[in-house]
Structure 1
Amino acid sequence: MSAPSTGGASRDGYGKALLNIADDPRVVVIEADLGKSTKSCLFREKYPERTVSLGIAEQNMVLVAAGLASCGKVPFASTFAIFTERAFEQVRNGLARPGLVAHICGSHGGIHTGTDGSSAQSIEDLALYRTIPNMTVLHPSDDLSATELTQQLLDYHESSYTRTARNKTPRIYTEKTVKSLQIGKGTILSEGDSVAIIAIGVMVHKALMAAENLRKEGINVTVIDMHTIKPIDTELLDDLANNVQGIVTVEDHSIIGGLGSAVSEYLSENNPTRVVKIGVDDRFGESGGSEELLELVGLTIESIESAVRSIVEL
């Protein structure tokens, strides 16, 4: 995998994807006041007749999506990640329980959201949606992967929740390599035989940087972009468990119920392996710059390197 290049925010990729699939007349876009922030506004500008703007009414947004899905449409509904949680019951009972298919996008997820403050920093969204049957959970690492994965949802068989980020991050993929992404399959970005780092979202780039530094110490690390948290790629997890000394999971999300939990839950019962989880401890965020806050909660390149060394030195 080539070195990351400058890119956009994953929310930009979501907006681009909506335009790319707009030729399909089934596609409808639903907003809850924040179309400019989630980038669904790009679709609205070109296709106002297929856009429903509901104002600050997230619960209504989800049930309108359910109604449209029941009529054969493919709804894409978006707001801030933290505000999707207000509609948890509607996602559960209105979408997933009857087996309807609509796609929820929660933008501005994680501590990385920064200056919006702790009330807007959703660090539990992935955990919530993982618990719902008939629900796929995605967290792209850059704008290109957000575009590709969102486009794949057009003909997907069940409802989904996709978390996107507010701020720009380096590109992990190129226009060519991103085509290899597949929902439900983790992507191997680099290979090594010491430890595997499994990361999601904005932390994938930091995982790659940590791997590069560790390589200079003679520690060869595998780096995985596990963009699909549910269903988790168990085949890949088994392969990693059988070939490395241990696994480090890295996420801008609570260590309770997120990526680290998903990996540990599977491996503890099927292929016991040492797992070190890096994420947000049992706490809320604060207001500050993105990198400042990531450092505050220990989501740094250095913390990833230390976790890898702790496994190698056992």
Structure 2
Amino acid sequence: MSRHTAAGLANLEVLDTTLRDLASSDPAIRVLTADSRISGRLGPFAREFPDRLVELGIAEQNLVGVAAGLASCGMKPFVISPACFLTARALEQIKVDVGYSGTAVRLVGISAGISYGALGASHHSIADYAALRAIPGIPVVAPADNCEAEAAIRLAAATDGPLYIRLGKRALACVHGPTSEPVAIEHATRLRTGDDIGIIATGETVGIALEAAEALALGGVEATVVSMPMVRPLDTATLFGVARRVGGLIVAEEHSVHGGLGEACAAALMTEGIPVRFRALGIPDEPIVNGPQLDVLAHYGIGPEQLAALARELLV
């Protein structure tokens, strides 16, 4: 049963409570971090399982290598580090020690996308989908809320192979609403149904898509909104079903327009031969501006009002 149906829990709180629950019945669970601020935020886990949390300091390449070694010895390591450093600085280790080797390392990139908006491009993580989608054997998951985050962590623990979970920084409202049933993230979820426009989103853009759909409904435009947490492998059945039903389709993501969910959906639709008016909405191919996360997203058209305006334009 999900304990994270309400808003207000940030990603590290969800990680901590879920990992503690898993570790209580699975002695193989290990947590590795590369920043003392992260391990400090996982204080409840550290106090309950002091011999199962390892802080390696700011050394992401070593972090992944140590985790791969633990996995090869039968442990279930969860690697937790800011996504911008984990998927860039340690990309070779992820490629060789995890992906190519098929090692069951659970990679958790926190404060992803432009969560560190004011800190500049060095702290933005808008190429992680592209990088990891190009490495064989690593599923890529971007939860939209606390319910999906908990489901992703539990899926990772139960998966005998590598997996990348991408989490933001701020606390999120639960897009699935109150539920006593676990949320399944292996497939996409239709959160709203309408025949005019389809909006497929992943991660934190799902909430924005739902707000845009509400604004569209006020003007008589009904939208289907889909949460697509699995960026890879892609739920093509849901994608094709929505595309065949609506008059236009928008894919929204907090990622570069190159190599992310938008390109994956476009390629799948073209390969299947499904004709639909289509737009991929993400960070464009230009030096990214800096500032608060939601302001930066709005600057690039990834806000409720801008997304609703794009939908209306697509239907003209």
Smaller-chain TM-score range?
over 0.9
> SS at 2:168's partner residue?
coil
Task: Using the TM superposition, give the Cα deviation of residue 130 of structure 1 relative to its aligned residue in structure 2, in angstroms.
Answer: 1.0
Task: Using the TM superposition, give the Cα deviation of residue 190 of structure 1 relative to its aligned residue in structure 2, in angstroms.
Answer: 0.5
2:65 corresponds to 1:93: no
Paired position in structure 1 for 2:290: 287
Q: Distance in 1 between matches of 2:36 and 2:309?
A: 39
**TM-score normalized by the length of structure 2:** 0.92
* Counterpart pick for 1:66 among 65, 68, 80: 68
Q: Which moved more, 1:204-213 or 1:294-303?
A: 294-303
Paired position in structure 1 for 2:209: 207
Task: Using the TM superposition, give the Cα deviation of residue 11 of structure 1 relative to its aligned residue in structure 2, in angstroms.
Answer: 3.7
1:121-150 per-residue CA deviation (whole Å, 9 max, x = no partner) reads 111111111111110101111223211211
Contact 2:301 2:307 in 1 (8 A): no
Any unmatched runs of 5+ in structure 2?
none
2:78 corresponds to 1:76: yes
What amino acid does structure 1 have at the position aligned with 2:15?
Y
> SS at 1:248's partner residue?
strand
Contact 1:8 1:142 in 2 (8 A): no
Contact 1:14 1:39 in 2 (8 A): no
* Counterpart pick for 1:165 among 165, 168, 186: 168
Contact 2:63 2:79 in 1 (8 A): yes
**TM-score normalized by the length of structure 1:** 0.92
* Counterpart pick for 1:241 among 237, 240, 243: 243
Paired position in structure 1 for 2:134: 131
Paired position in structure 2 for 1:255: 257
What amino acid does structure 2 have at the position aligned with 1:7?
G
* Counterpart pick for 2:229 among 213, 227, 230: 227
Task: Using the TM superposition, give the Cα deviation of residue 188 of structure 1 relative to its aligned residue in structure 2, in angstroms.
Answer: 0.9
Task: Using the TM superposition, give the Cα deviation of residue 37 of structure 1 relative to its aligned residue in structure 2, in angstroms.
Answer: 7.3
Task: Using the TM superposition, give the Cα deviation of residue 169 of structure 1 relative to its aligned residue in structure 2, in angstroms.
Answer: 2.5
> SS at 2:23's partner residue?
coil
1:257-282 per-residue CA deviation (whole Å, 9 max, x = no partner) reads 11111111111111333320111111
Task: Using the TM superposition, give the Cα deviation of residue 156 of structure 1 relative to its aligned residue in structure 2, in angstroms.
Answer: 1.1
Equivalent pairs counted in the alignment come to 309
Task: Using the TM superposition, give the Cα deviation of residue 173 of structure 1 relative to its aligned residue in structure 2, in angstroms.
Answer: 2.7
1:73-121 per-residue CA deviation (whole Å, 9 max, x = no partner) reads 1110011011111111111110111211111111111123322332211
2:143 corresponds to 1:140: yes
Contact 1:145 1:178 in 2 (8 A): no
What amino acid does structure 1 have at the position aligned with 2:241?
D
Any unmatched runs of 5+ in structure 1?
none
Q: Distance in 2 between matches of 1:232 and 1:34?
A: 35
Q: Quick one: percent identity of the two aligned structures?
A: 33
2:25 corresponds to 1:17: no
What amino acid does structure 2 have at the position aligned with 1:246?
G
Paired position in structure 1 for 2:124: 121
> SS at 1:179's partner residue?
coil
Change (3 A) 1:6 1:50: closer
What amino acid does structure 2 have at the position aligned with 1:18?
L
Contact 1:144 1:175 in 2 (8 A): no
What amino acid does structure 2 have at the position aligned with 1:213?
A
* Counterpart pick for 1:105 among 94, 108, 112: 108
Contact 2:147 2:182 in 1 (8 A): no
Change (3 A) 1:230 1:35: farther
